[in-house]
């Protein structure tokens, strides 16, 4: 009885301490901390179809002058400026053919509009010919207007009241919705909208690998011991502490758990260029999804893209944000591994709208492909029924990764998380037998087939990666 009272009193004191600390620190200490990631719903966003990308025609005024002389037998004379009109500024040129100011008319009494005598193009200082691409509404072909300037993108809107898209959305409203729309138009999306992303990223351009603080030639262990470290830590998903303990208990090799992590991080920087730059033989079935990884105590995202037939991981981007820029980079990882982009390329993803926005980004750079989204957990439409198997395949990849990742309990830096994921992908693509491939590895390297044990294969794989880095550096 006394023990029960003492226990309840201790619990009461703990609650009092938590309450006082909450007042002092401003943090709620009564919440039950969970090691499971918070599955936040992605922002519900309606993504309209792609706009019409209209590239203005560009001409050369010198060639046009020569053609005029050949056809008329005389030169085209410059414009005689009238004294009652202001002179054309010398820095004004025709945006379509590049004609200098002496071939330009003042077309509206000094209010900024000009007419080129050579190509007969009227233009203004803000004329659309000065743009590299004109964005047009796919429903009415009217030029889109920029209405918002966000951090990483511009928002364009079709303001044509006769647009079929706008009229269709209005007519689909109920009487109550129409009355509410008049009072609160911002609550309803009725016009066509397009987002043009402005972040600094060039598609299909490979970057140099990031070096590590630890150099492989300076590692003070044998190559076979390094192979053992990678086999236990990567292949079997053991923690760094269990790996170090196993090395000592079974092999008599004394090593700290931090040394294990240092070796893994060092190897990852060597094998990453080989994994990313290898000339893969791919199918035409690609699917993508995100899973979670903890970095600095916070849940980050891994963007996986996967060849569903060949069982090859093509992208493994780690990011603190589930945003369009990371989706663009993940898809770019896939495109750079293709010898050429098929005309019927189709990427299977979940319902996250960032993949559709990424599709728009690539379309703006002349790179076109389809994105099919499998939404929800049940086949409520024909699209989901057809492509559900691909979505399930990458879900199994996520479960395989979590099986290896679970023992780490997270990483203290983004570099550590990237190193771990890189080593997992190297193992998955080149060293791990797959049941769907009749027990073969996804990518067969002839140099590894003669290696009798997994530590030997890791050592040979590191050697191949080092040779690849040296060949790329000398190229």
Domain co-membership, 383 together with 328: yes
Burial of 359 (0-12, 13-18, 19+ CB in 10 A): buried
Domain co-membership, 152 together with 62: no
Rounded CA-CA distance 81/76 in Å is: 15
Rounded CA-CA distance 196/152 in Å is: 9
Q: How many helices (H) and strands (E) does the chain have?
A: 13, 13
The arithmetic mean of pLDDT across residues 250-258, rounded, is: 92
E-assigned strands of 250-360?
286-295, 298-307, 312-319, 346-349
Rounded CA-CA distance 88/441 in Å is: 71
Rounded CA-CA distance 357/42 in Å is: 13
Domain co-membership, 105 together with 148: no
Whether pLDDT at 137 is above 90: yes
Domain co-membership, 296 together with 420: yes
User: What are the tokens at 395?
Assistant: 């879900």
Whether pLDDT at 131 is above 90: no
Residue with structure tokens 């009885």? 1
E-assigned strands of 49-186?
52-54, 104-106, 114-116, 122-123, 134-136, 145-149, 153-157
Domain co-membership, 292 together with 422: yes
Query: What is the arrangement of strands in the sheet containing 298-307, beginning at the earlier edge strand?
Result: 312-319, 298-307, 286-295, 346-349, 370-373
Residue with structure tokens 């005309």? 343
Helix, strand, or coil here: 302? strand
Domain boundary among 170, 197, 224: 197
Whether pLDDT at 447 is above 90: yes
CATH of the domain at 355: 3.30.420.10
Q: Does 71 or 19 have the greater pLDDT score?
A: 71
The arithmetic mean of pLDDT across residues 430-450, rounded, is: 92
Domain boundary among 154, 175, 197: 197
Domain co-membership, 193 together with 115: no
Q: Which pLDDT tens digit goes with each residue over 367-393?
A: 999 999 887 656 666 666 777 788 888
Amino acid 130: pLDDT: 64
Amino acid 169: pLDDT: 92
Range of the domain at 165: 137-197
DSSP assignment of 405-434, as one string? HGGG--BSSHHHHHHHHHHHHHHHHHT--B
Q: CB of 104 within 8 A of CB of 92?
A: yes
Q: Which pLDDT tens digit goes with each residue over 187-221?
A: 888 999 998 887 777 777 665 444 444 455 555 57
Burial of 447 (0-12, 13-18, 19+ CB in 10 A): exposed
Is 25 within the bounds of a domain?
no
Domain co-membership, 106 together with 176: no
Question: Long-range contacts: 441-449, Cβ < 8 Å, 24+?
Answer: 442/310, 442/311, 442/312, 443/278, 443/280, 443/312
Amino acid 217: pLDDT: 52
Sign of the CA dihedral 267, 273, 278, 282? positive
The arithmetic mean of pLDDT across residues 129-134, rounded, is: 70
Helix 223-230 vs helix 240-251: crossing angle, to nearest 10: 130
Of all residues in the chain, the percent with pLDDT exceeding 90 is 46
Domain co-membership, 449 together with 358: yes
Domain co-membership, 364 together with 277: yes
Domain co-membership, 284 together with 399: yes
Rounded CA-CA distance 226/264 in Å is: 9
In sequence order, the β-bridge partners of residue 115 are 105, 122
Number of domains the chain contains:
3
DSSP assignment of 188-211, as one string? ---S-EEEEE-SS--TT-PPPPPP
- CA torsion angle for 294, 296, 299, 302 (degrees, to 10)? -60
Q: Highest-confidence range of 4-13, 347-356, 423-432, by mean pLDDT?
A: 423-432
pTM greater than 0.85: no
Sign of the CA dihedral 396, 397, 398, 401? positive
Q: Choose among 219, 330, 340: nearest CA to 284.
A: 340
Whether pLDDT at 133 is above 90: no
Q: CB of 165 within 8 A of CB of 158?
A: yes
Amino acid 38: pLDDT: 53
Is 265 within the bounds of a domain?
no
Domain co-membership, 316 together with 434: yes
User: What are the tokens at 377?
Assistant: 């957990």
Helix, strand, or coil here: 83? coil
Is 389 within the bounds of a domain?
yes
Q: Tell me whether strands 298-307 and 286-295 are parallel, antiparallel or unpaired.
A: antiparallel
Q: Tell me whether strands 346-349 and 286-295 are parallel, antiparallel or unpaired.
A: parallel
Domain boundary among 197, 216, 244: 197
Whether pLDDT at 473 is above 80: no
In sequence order, the β-bridge partners of residue 303 are 290, 317
Tell me which of 197-201, 396-400, 402-406, 454-458 is least confident: 197-201
Q: Choose among 391, 464, 403, 460: nearest CA to 428.
A: 403
Give the other-Cβ count within 10 Å of 236's Cβ.
13
């Amino acid at each position: 009885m006394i023990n029960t009272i003492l226990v309840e009193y201790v619990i009461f004191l703990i609650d009092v301490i938590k309450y006082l600390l909450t007042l002092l620190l401003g943090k709620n200490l009564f919440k039950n901390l969970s090691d499971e990631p918070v599955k936040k719903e992605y922002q519900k966003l309606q993504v309209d179809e792609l706009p019409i990308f209209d590239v203005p025609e560009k001409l050369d005024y010198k060639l046009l002058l020569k053609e005029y002389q050949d056809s008329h037998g005389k030169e085209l004379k410059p414009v005689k400026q009238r004294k009652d009109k202001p002179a054309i500024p010398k820095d004004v040129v025709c945006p379509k053919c590049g004609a200098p100011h002496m071939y330009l008319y003042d077309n509206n009494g000094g209010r900024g509009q000009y007419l080129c005598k050579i190509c007969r193009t009227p233009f203004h200082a803000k004329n659309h010919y000065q743009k590299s691409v004109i964005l047009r509404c796919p429903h009415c072909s009217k030029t889109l207007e920029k209405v918002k300037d966000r951090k990483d993108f511009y928002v364009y809107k079709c303001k044509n009241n006769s647009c079929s898209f706008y009229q269709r959305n209005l007519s689909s409203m109920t009487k109550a919705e129409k009355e509410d729309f008049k009072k609160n138009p911002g609550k309803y999306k009725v016009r066509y909208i397009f987002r043009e992303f402005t972040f600094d990223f060039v598609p299909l351009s490979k970057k140099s690998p990031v070096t590590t603080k630890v150099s492989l030639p300076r590692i003070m262990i044998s190559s076979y011991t390094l192979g053992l470290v990678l086999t236990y830590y990567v292949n079997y998903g053991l923690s760094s502490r269990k790996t170090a303990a196993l090395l000592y208990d079974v092999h008599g090799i004394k090593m700290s758990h931090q040394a294990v992590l240092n070796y893994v991080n060092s190897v990852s920087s060597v094998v990453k260029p080989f994994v990313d730059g290898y000339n893969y033989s791919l199918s035409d079935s690609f699917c993508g999804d995100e899973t979670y990884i903890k970095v600095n105590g916070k849940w980050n995202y891994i963007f996986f893209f996967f060849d569903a037939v060949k069982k090859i991981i093509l992208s493994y981007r780690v990011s603190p944000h589930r945003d369009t820029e990371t989706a663009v980079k993940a898809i770019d990882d896939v495109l750079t591994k293709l010898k050429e982009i098929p005309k019927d390329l189709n990427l299977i993803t979940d319902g996250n709208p960032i993949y559709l926005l990424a599709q728009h980004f690539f379309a703006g750079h002349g790179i076109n492909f389809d994105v099919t989204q499998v939404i929800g957990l049940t086949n409520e439409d024909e699209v989901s029924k057809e492509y559900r198997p691909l979505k399930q395949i990458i879900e199994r990849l996520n479960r395989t990764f979590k099986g290896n990742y679970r023992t780490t309990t997270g990483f203290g830096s983004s570099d550590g998380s990237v190193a771990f994921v890189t080593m997992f992908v190297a193992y998955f693509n080149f060293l791990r037998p797959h049941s769907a491939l009749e027990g073969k590895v996804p990518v067969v390297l002839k140099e590894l087939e003669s290696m009798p044990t997994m530590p030997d294969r890791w050592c040979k794989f590191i050697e191949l990666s080092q040779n690849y880095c040296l060949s790329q550096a000398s190229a």
